[in-house]
Amino acid sequence: MGRGESRITCSAARGYALPFALLAIALAAAGAASVASSWADDLGRDKEAELLRVGNLYARAIAAYRRNSPGSAKRYPPDLESLLEDRRLVTMTRYLRDLYADPVTGSRDWGLVRGPDGGIRGVYSRSSRVPWRRAAVTLEDCSLPPAQRYEDWKFMGSDT
């Protein structure tokens, strides 16, 4: 290099690398946060859909148990286990394959709605989280009113 040449261009170019690297990191972090938020929303919606499916299964099973009661007195099941094996008639009937867990709480400890005979008329989630769907929901075997919390949805078998 001669006396008239300068190295300023190299050192000046190096000064832009750090701001560009920081900008790239900030953009990557913002993108990751957006993806994580979207993933959490999707997971919450999936759990809610599963709660509606499982709750409807319980409502259907409770209604079938009551409908198949021997004699004229129609009774609700005394406990959830009775939905797994109903031995009141000559042949055993299974209304549920398993006692399903609440998808929102992950627990098998459902809230129970008792009927006038003390039997289980319905189940509900014990979660106080806010549902995605707050309007009334009509399912195959039950209807749910608008809810502020998951525990407001009572999955009850029909009385017919």
CA distance 120 to 33: 44
Asked whether residue 20 is assigned to any structural domain, the reply reads no
Asked whether residue 101 is assigned to any structural domain, the reply reads yes
Asked whether residue 37 is assigned to any structural domain, the reply reads no
Asked whether residue 129 is assigned to any structural domain, the reply reads yes
Contacts of 82 (CB under 8 A, 6+ apart): 65
Instruction: With CA atoms as reference, report the closest residue to 153 among 41, 51, 44.
Output: 51
Whether 37 shows a pLDDT value over 70: the answer reads no
Asked whether residue 109 is assigned to any structural domain, the reply reads yes
43 vs 119, which has greater pLDDT?
119
pTM: 0.75
- Domain range for 88: 48-156
Share of the chain above pLDDT 90, in %: 55
pLDDT for res 10: 54
Asked whether residue 111 is assigned to any structural domain, the reply reads yes
Asked whether residue 63 is assigned to any structural domain, the reply reads yes
Task: Indicate the DSSP class of residue 103.
Answer: T
pLDDT for res 40: 65
Residue 108, both tokens: 């098998």
DSSP string, 119-149: SEEEEE----SPPS--S-EE-SS-EE---SS
Residue 81, both tokens: 């286990």
Yes or no: say if 123 and 55 are a contact pair by the CB < 8 Å rule.
Answer: yes
pLDDT for res 27: 78
32 vs 143, which has greater pLDDT?
143
Yes or no: say if 68 and 93 are a contact pair by the CB < 8 Å rule.
Answer: yes
Whether 78 shows a pLDDT value over 70: the answer reads yes
96 backbone dihedrals φ, ψ, rounded to 5°: -130, 150
Q: How far is CA 106 from CA 94, 102, 126, in A?
A: 23, 5, 10
Give how many domains the chain has, as a whole number.
1
Q: What is the pLDDT of residues 82-101, one digit of tens each?
A: 999 998 888 999 999 999 99
Asked whether residue 29 is assigned to any structural domain, the reply reads no
Whether 8 shows a pLDDT value over 60: the answer reads no
